[in-house]
Structure 1
């Protein structure tokens, strides 16, 4: 609308044939009028139609529906002024009405002010009359609030610090059971005792002291009741029953806060369990039941174990089973998650400083595992005393070295098991370990007596050169001892196992080997070497069965030395039986041969003896060494002796050939018909000897 309006305005002069922009118009005859019109046009053209006021004016013109005609333009200002006057009149009328309303409001406010002033006068009079009563009421309300606060404090104090007579009866009366209510009230009284110390920091300490004294008295009575109840329960406690009362476990953990009472309970418990365990052990030995409610399961040990070793083994097995059962049961009773007993005892030590010793001052921490092991030691002390007495009786009543040694190893084996269960410093081990030493002393004594008894046999050499009976018997005994040692000693260290068995070897073998050596020293060669080899070889074979007893390193040099000497003896035997001994001993050069055996008949006699010896030489040699029990070694010795014999023969043969060559090489080159060559008299060759001996 605005756009069309200005377009029409700009185009109307030209259409009318003489607009106000035309230079030829009469209205522009004078210069001032022309300048004003130009200025007006310039102002209109320079105006920004984006201005909000212009845009609003143009919008109003659009709403009026005006057309761009001369008449409309002439009447526009008048119409606008007329509308403005009418609007101002309406505004004046509206403001007149507003003035009337404001007058009425002013009158109402005036009336309200008068009413408020009157009310203030009445209120002032009422305040003057009721002021003392209000002050008194305020004082009463303050006192009421203080009384209510004190009542709340009193109720809270009574609820926290005061225990009812019913609860006190449950806590301290022995007629009341020890149940969950007892422990609940005990925890509350302990809380009261702890919180009463806070009251000691207040201005009035009397109340705190009274509550502290009263709570301490209640706690002492409660712990005394708990202590007596635990003692009664311990008398009837059956550790073999897997369903052990949880109340006892809880009572012991609570009682740990009084170390003196707790230790007294442990002492009482240990005495009761020691008596019960000793009776059960005696019942297991004899078959007589402790009471009708606990019959003996299975046969009595004394009736079923006829073998002394089985008897000792069954007693140790019973003690081990009882120790495991006792430990498991006591672990359920005294070892808890969170280490509650240790915490309770630490609390008790802090509350009873007079009960601490110097050592506890240095190390006040409670070791539950150590205390458990000590309690198990005390519970089974009676069992181990009976075990020790009966084992010592078995050792004393049987003069058997193998039995004593087996008992010693058995005790060592079970000692290692008890060590893993109870620790190195267990008092039970102090009772058990001396049994091993006692058995070993008996073993040594019996072995030395046996060596003394066979001294007469040590002077008698066997005719068949077999190992003496005392050596065979000693090796059989040693076989049993080695087996016992191997099955009972659990140490994985080989050096330790070897060192542990050496004392046994010194007692059970070395004296008999020394006796065999004395016998061989009295015999002649080769019998002495045959007997020595038979003894050493059987000893070596027996000892090699177990690594910890193997003496191959020690025995092998002796065996090799006797083997060498026996080979030398057989070599001499070959030379003597074949007749070559005189040749080997007397002839070293050709000249020795020519001077000693100038007569060929002597060589012919030796050759005949050699021919008669060779066909049966090997068999005869085997017969000569028939008493050597190791046939492979005998064959090896014969082969070595034969080889040395062949070497000796080849040296003699070489000398014979040299002598014949010297005789054949005469100065004139002629051979005498009476000359006889030694090869013709002694025709055997080294190869033939080897073939015949093979």
Structure 2
């Protein structure tokens, strides 16, 4: 419905309408009644209203909410009811605005009273401020002065706490009656910090205070280090290194004392002297079972009980020394460097601060402290007393020994411990030098005994065994050398140096005997000389072969010499085959000739060894020789102790003989063919010469079978 339709009269009934049919758009269908009435106009207006209008939709929704039914009475009263509601709403609004106006009048009155009270209070405050401003200014000045005084008190307190030692702290630091405990080290650290921080005070214009505090603190520090030095010396006298739980205060004191290198070094010297005496007494007790005071200790089994066995005696003494050095190093490592690099830092700091170091002319400065090297040197000094006793005892063992192998075993044992001590204490220790000197002395004794032995058996170098086998002195020398090599095999020499290190031993214990065999062979006719030397060389190679890791070069040299003499024996056997078979003249005559040259073939029949009579005799001698040729040849080398080598030598000589025979056979065949060609060309001639092959029928195949 339209907005003005609320007050319109009720619509007439459908029976009163005289509208004609409507089109879908609401307009009369053409041909309907020719005129329109008010109702049709209203309907047209309603139908033409857009339902997309928001106000229209809200109006319809309002009507729906009121639940108004579409009746004639309702439609008549709708506008009146709405207007009455609007009038009532406006009346309520006017009433409420009246109440608001009343409240605003009351608020205005209240504000006026507050303004009046404020003005009165402002006047009172202004009056009070004028009367108290002087007092406030004075109080503010006093408060400022108080804060300044409190600040100065705090600064003074902090300064005294930081830069001044209390009487109790000075007593703990300097008096010997006070113990060296955690409090002492805490005060010492504070004093060192004070002296260092005094450098900051020296940066101000007035340096008097800084100099005075630094001078006083330095004096206290020097007294503290002297007290610590004496305390450490006292502790060293009763220190038990065998106790794994070494006093932590001693370790701490040593680290702190390192800041005074001179005092620290004096303590080390004192400690080394004390430990040297203790270890010397312990070594003497281990040797004899008797303490230095003469008291017998039945719980100790003296090392001297095995003095009849020089090797074990020496080994026990070296083992004790090694055990003592290891124990000493482990204990000192806990004592001096178990907590890192503190001693090195302390010594470096002390070197930078000590006056004599500052005045030194060395522009490069002192060398950096090496804790491990210093530890090794200290251990070396500690065991030096025991090492002197050890050196005397071992030297006595070496000098009284008359056995060659034992002398070398002693040298090898000393070399083993020399290598072990080098790993433990480095290459510059006195202990290592002592081991090296003892090893050199043992090797000198070994060489001396070996030369004496060679001098003793020189008479045996003139008598060659009848069986051409290795002489007895060589066999004894190889047994001795085998024992030496077994000993050397257990040494700790590095792989790359083993062969070079063992070469001097071979020169002393092997070469003279082999040279004696070579001299003996010069007095023996060949091939016995080569057989004798091959037997000696084979025995020597057999002794050296099992130790190839350090005799490889020498074994190769021996094998080369064996091959050389084996080649001489092959030549001897080959000469035997040529000589005993009576073929030597034929071989010599035909050697320069070739079966491929016609001129050489033509010369064959004219050679003297190939004349019919001589060739027949040679063939007969060959037939007589062949059945026992191999046995006769093997008889020549029967004294070779290596049957396989003897057989190989003979077989190689037989092969060469067969090759020469094959050459001869080829030339004879060619010579017979050449003679037939000449006879065929000269038909009138008479055959005056028999076939060479007829006189010498043996073939190369037959020779190889008979000599195999």
Residue pairs, 1:108-257, within 5 angstroms: 110=116, 113=119, 117=123, 119=124, 123=128, 128=131, 137-202=139-204, 205-257=207-259
CA distance in 1, matches of 2:188, 2:627: 111
Indicate the residue corresponding to 1:23 in structure 2.
none
Query: What is the number of equivalent residue pairs in this alignment?
Result: 647
Check whether the contact 1:409–1:489 (CA below 8 A) recurs between aligned residues: no
Mapped to 2, the partners of 1:311 and 1:132 lie a distance apart of: 107
Aligned counterpart, 2:562: 559
Deviation string 1:364-407 (CA, Å, 9 cap, x unpaired) is 54322222222222222233333333333333222444333333
Structure 1 position 626 matched with structure 2 position 638: yes
Determine the structure 1 residue equivalent to 2:470: 467
1:78-126: CA deviations, max 9, x gaps? x989997997699679757865785687467547745764x458637xx
TM superposition shift of 1:296: 8.5
Q: Is the 8 A contact 1:411 1:435 kept in 2?
A: yes
Which blocks of at least 5 consecutive residues in structure 1 are unaligned?
Answer: 18-40
Distance 1:82 1:459, change over 3 A: closer
Measured in 2, the distance between the counterparts of 1:464 and 1:82 equals 162
**Paired residue for 2:596?**
none
Match of 1:458 among 461, 467, 470: 461
Judge conservation of contact 1:461–1:468 (CA < 8 Å) in 2.
yes
CA shift at 1:298, angstroms?
Answer: 5.3
- Alpha-carbon deviations, 1:413-448, whole Å to 9, x = none? 322222222333334333332333333333333333
Please state how far the C-alpha of 1:646 moved relative to its aligned partner.
6.6
Structure 1 match to 2:41: none
Q: Measured at CA, do residues 213 and 295 of structure 1 come closer, stay the same or move farther in structure 2, by a change above 3 Å?
A: farther
8 Å contact kept, 2:9–2:76: no
1:152 deviates by: 3.3
Deviations 1:169-215 (A, max 9, x none): 33322222222222223223333333344333456544333332332
**Paired residue for 1:592?**
608
Distance verdict in 2 for CA 1:82–1:319, change over 3 Å: closer
1:320 equivalent in alignment to 2:322 = yes
Q: Which residue of structure 1 aligns with residue 5 of structure 2?
A: 7
Matched, 1:448 2:451: yes
Q: 1:531 — aligned with what?
A: 532
Output the TM-score relative to the length of structure 2: 0.75
- Equivalent residues of 1:583, 1:652 under 8 A apart: no
TM-aligned CA deviation for residue 488 of structure 1: 0.8
Structure 1, 184-193 or 84-93: larger mean CA deviation: 84-93
Mark the runs of 5 or more structure 2 residues left unpaired by the alignment. 17-44, 68-72, 591-603
What's the CA shift for 1:491? 0.8
Is 1:637–2:649 an aligned residue pair? yes
User: Displacement of 1:456 after TM fit?
Assistant: 2.8
Whole-Å Cα distance in 1 between the matches of residues 457 and 99 of structure 2? 161
* Aligned twin of 2:29: none
Instruction: Name the counterpart of 2:595.
Output: none
Tell me, in whole angstroms, the C-alpha distance in 1 between the residues paired with 2:230 and 2:224. 10
Cα offset, 1:73, TM superposition:
6.3
Aligned 8 A contact 2:626 2:706 in 1: yes
- RMSD over aligned CA atoms reads 5.1
Name the structure 1 match of 2:518.
517
Q: Is the 8 A contact 1:199 1:208 kept in 2?
A: yes
Q: Secondary structure at the match of 1:123?
A: helix
Cα pair distance change 1:289/1:132, threshold 3 Å = same
SS in 1 for 2:397: helix
Pair 1:411-2:414 in alignment: yes
- 1:25 — aligned with what? none
Contact 2:615 2:695 in 1 (8 A): no
Contact 2:668–2:693, Cα closer than 8 Å, also in 1 = yes
What is the rounded CA distance, in whole Å, between the counterparts of 2:349 and 2:240 in structure 1?
Answer: 30
The two structures have a TM-score, normalised by structure 1, of 0.76
